[in-house]
Structure 1
């Protein structure tokens, strides 16, 4: 697959390339209904099983039973090389944030771990799903969600996603029974239909055992009204793509594909879900998948909806897509040309041994108005766009030193064995975080333009490597680039940039700021099609270092900080959400009852948090 892809890059012209790939037509069936209902927080502060054993390897060195293993079920990154970049950004730090209307602390590790009475696993890193509309803001992180009004008042939450989607608890700590594993949530409010769409990847078990069955599906919940606190319909889309349950057979190693990293977009006629397809139990990447689903059927609560699936790993498609992110519309502006068109973007540096590229790919799905009547006539096209060189980040992000009670307990003789059931391990200080690869992040369609971001390697002021954000504003009709540059600071990393843009063309990039002088903090910058990105604003400074369990003690390359950020438009307000650290405490406070919770601000094995901010125009 790599050879075919490299040849395609060399021979393709700039003009949009149509090809004869035959889509797979499917039918999506409606299942049950749900109403988001707050589940109680509770449970033991630490158990003998904190991580889902199906998603981690056994911890053979310590034998402590905590499940703090290192061997994930599948390596869901495909970066081949890390040559680094010699590019430096020229961003400055803003002295004030006049556009910041306010904000609130969103979901955090304490909410995630102790939701549903504590019948949850410890899950890190935080995957950020945020959407807004009709005066509501909804946030979903890992396997919990919450709903707020436009003033920041929490209306519902935390709600564990197992309960929301109608499943048994992730882990019933009274009986030991397992429910499905749910991950990678995203959401979208569609102004045209006044419906909310929430998607997550669900991995089935063999009965109530900890073992994965191999089958996995996208759970898609669609609100029945414009109020997300009311009733929702649930649709389930199988994505194991091995010929079972109506799926095509893509030949994934060891029998089951995995629909990883789902994200959502829309045009006037269809909802778009995309995934990265890996083998669930073995090695191999099989191409991004693009699912086109009848929006009208979903919005009306129909018993079934037409689906068209394009597999970018199909040999007839001249480029293998990776993280093909569909565009969201911020105000019901859609492309009417060619019978209705949706645009998607992807990057390709991860395929090269150099880890660098100056190409991104613009995908378009056209004739979407036919999804309800002639779904097989929906067409897919792709074209390369030349952009400023970007690179897979090469270095870990250093943190500002501060109190790290979990690490302090590991270092203190007797503390970890007594309280955590783990041997003592000495760390010199707050560990560095692994940032994102160069996969595409959130894509928006606004003011007739495509807006996108991705993380890239940059040089910091001291000559070391760090992470910045490459952004671009594209004319999707001609492939012309209005603006393309790198947002970077000389003394800190910017990571997981997500851009949202109003129909007027005024936008915001949200991200996390972390460096030797910065605890992980929530940041943002303005974005404009003429002048590019503005100064870096700190929406909320981190209160202390990240002090999570991932990487103790076997992840030599460092733990990944998050998976993606999010930003969303509601009227004249852009809501943004970024991972940051909202708390700090001492070892003494950490060991004070209730154990490991520092007054309800964290859990035993992690302290990540999220910041939701409102930017006004």
Structure 2
């Protein structure tokens, strides 16, 4: 029998909206939960939400954020591809982006920089220290789609390096974490591993985040993210060694054999790409390829990762549990829907075996909406429950670039979405998970065209295995359990050997502070109680 995970929605609110500070297409929905705040870090905007009063939010532009960290962003430059992580072990925040020349037609022809910031305390509204350094100091390639990882030893930034819109290879830099936590933070002892081979190291590296010390320097990547539409069957795993010191090194890569995954060919664009269907019948929404777009989460020596594949003509989610030390595939599975395309998944887990995946879903009947699915790992087997709708979309989404291309009769230009979502574990309660993702919240018709408006949705997922407690007071016994267990019945039995002796207790319950209470007299004889999900 698999453990039942109770799922409830806590805080659930709209974060940023297109036109309110950020006009990014797409915004790259990213964020993380800390002790007192949820930090939303998207293209164009950084927002700090008080966890208990989400309306009490502080918003600044991403450029202003970097300026406040001590960096100067020139008027010719722009910043993009944000990532943010709260590290409960050091009680600090880490954030990253890349910069680029916004005044040229093709900024990928020139070198760009990684931007990294570390907070002074656990309060993200306080001071941060920023750093800017050349992403590729060796050959000056352009870093795209940066990723960020943190563990006990190091902070890791990776990029997918390109030149003149041509993919070159993955790159990775490792920074001793202790150096960033020092009274005078420094990146002087960082190690740059160069632009490496896709064949050896995989495509789009995701350095893991790990807060329990069970994994250090772990990196995952897909063997192929969709260079063609053939089935591919490998995940690449390796690790950074001695990340706490200058001169860190890399282990040899291990190719992990997995069930085949595939990215369908997009005939409009002429290359493989996932394009979900929307209720207006369009398939012009770009949701990228087979890369691991969201962070890899490590806990208990296990790496959790998700990406997209295709099943029966629908976009589906593939998840993995991988041994961080041996690189052995412990478990994998595919989450598919007969009606919905599922895309931009992100994953996190806790030490109790609860796993949460946040993702978007859409179909010919469903606007792009925000979902979560919760699973439990028991005796090495992970079982997921039913999807939970967090926020329904309200329109079929078409951004300004797509509509302008149609007006000018230009070649097909799809609307950008994503480029990722983020799921994180609450450092004050590991049974609470927070997800940030996007949904289409309306249209702007002021130009004469229905230009799609995106919003971010920030959701708190409450998970716990229901536990009964019994206290005795005078001649009465009081049975209590979490109020989130709304799909469970309280049942009683007078004989544990009688499997068919369980009966549903007639509701006569009281509630207080999120707990449900049932009182019974001790004079009624021996009774056993359980929570049972029909």
Q: Does 1:376 align with 2:247?
A: yes
Residue 311 of structure 1 deviates from its aligned partner by 2.9
Distance 2:148 2:241 in 1: 17
Which residue, out of 227, 232, 240, partners 2:128? Answer: 232
Q: Secondary structure at the match of 1:237?
A: strand
Matched with 1:310 is 193
Matched with 1:399 is 278
Going from structure 1 to structure 2, the CA distance change for 1:112 and 1:604 (only over 3 Å counts) comes to farther
Q: Does 1:148 align with 2:27?
A: no
Structural mapping, 1:143-542, within 5 Å: 143-166=44-67, 178-204=75-101, 214-239=110-135, 241=136, 247-249=137-139, 256-279=140-163, 282-305=164-187, 306-311=189-194, 313=196, 319-329=200-210, 332-335=211-214, 341-350=216-225, 353-369=228-244, 371=245, 375-394=246-265, 396-401=275-280, 432-441=284-293, 442-459=295-312, 465-529=313-377, 530-542=381-393
Going from structure 1 to structure 2, the CA distance change for 1:157 and 1:204 (only over 3 Å counts) comes to farther
TM-score (norm 1): 0.65
Give 5+ residue unaligned stretches, structure 1.
1-95, 114-121, 242-246, 250-255, 402-428, 460-464, 597-602
Residue 535 of structure 1 deviates from its aligned partner by 2.0
Tell me how many residue pairs correspond in the alignment: 433
Paired residues of 1:335 and 1:342 also in contact (CA < 8 A): no
Please identify which structure carries the higher strand content.
2
Paired residues of 2:322 and 2:328 also in contact (CA < 8 A): yes
Q: Secondary structure at the match of 2:63?
A: helix
Paired residues of 1:104 and 1:152 also in contact (CA < 8 A): no
CA deviations on 1:475-513 (whole Å, 9 max, x unpaired) are 223333332111111111100000011222212001101
Paired residues of 2:226 and 2:289 also in contact (CA < 8 A): no
Going from structure 1 to structure 2, the CA distance change for 1:542 and 1:569 (only over 3 Å counts) comes to same
Q: Does 1:562 align with 2:445?
A: no
CA deviations on 1:429-487 (whole Å, 9 max, x unpaired) are 7563122200113210012211000111221xxxxx22111111112233333321111
Q: Secondary structure at the match of 1:368?
A: coil
Q: Which has the higher contact order (CA 8 A, sep 6+)?
A: 1
Paired residues of 1:128 and 1:186 also in contact (CA < 8 A): no
Going from structure 1 to structure 2, the CA distance change for 1:294 and 1:478 (only over 3 Å counts) comes to closer
Distance 1:513 1:268 in 2: 35
Distance 2:335 2:413 in 1: 25
Q: Does 1:578 align with 2:437?
A: yes
Residue 225 of structure 1 deviates from its aligned partner by 1.0
Residue 180 of structure 1 deviates from its aligned partner by 1.5
Q: Secondary structure at the match of 1:491?
A: coil
Going from structure 1 to structure 2, the CA distance change for 1:318 and 1:551 (only over 3 Å counts) comes to closer
Distance 1:229 1:383 in 2: 41
Distance 2:287 2:234 in 1: 21
Going from structure 1 to structure 2, the CA distance change for 1:518 and 1:112 (only over 3 Å counts) comes to farther
Give 5+ residue unaligned stretches, structure 2.
266-273, 464-534
Distance 2:67 2:111 in 1: 17
Paired residues of 1:400 and 1:545 also in contact (CA < 8 A): yes
Give the alignment's Cα RMSD to 1 decimal. 2.7
Paired residues of 2:321 and 2:331 also in contact (CA < 8 A): yes
Residue 534 of structure 1 deviates from its aligned partner by 2.7
Residue 383 of structure 1 deviates from its aligned partner by 0.4
Distance 1:129 1:613 in 2: 12
Going from structure 1 to structure 2, the CA distance change for 1:152 and 1:439 (only over 3 Å counts) comes to farther
Distance 1:270 1:359 in 2: 26
Paired residues of 1:233 and 1:301 also in contact (CA < 8 A): no
Distance 2:301 2:6 in 1: 28
Distance 2:303 2:424 in 1: 15
Q: Which has the larger radius of gyration?
A: 2
Distance 1:388 1:532 in 2: 18
Paired residues of 1:366 and 1:378 also in contact (CA < 8 A): yes
Distance 2:336 2:374 in 1: 13
Distance 1:396 1:318 in 2: 26
Structure 1 runs of 4+ with >4 Å offset: 209-213
Matched with 1:118 is none
Residue 576 of structure 1 deviates from its aligned partner by 0.5
Going from structure 1 to structure 2, the CA distance change for 1:604 and 1:334 (only over 3 Å counts) comes to farther
Distance 2:416 2:357 in 1: 20
Distance 2:186 2:47 in 1: 28
Q: Secondary structure at the match of 2:260?
A: strand
Residue 367 of structure 1 deviates from its aligned partner by 2.2
Distance 1:484 1:152 in 2: 38
Distance 1:535 1:196 in 2: 33
Paired residues of 1:294 and 1:307 also in contact (CA < 8 A): yes
Residue 221 of structure 1 deviates from its aligned partner by 1.5
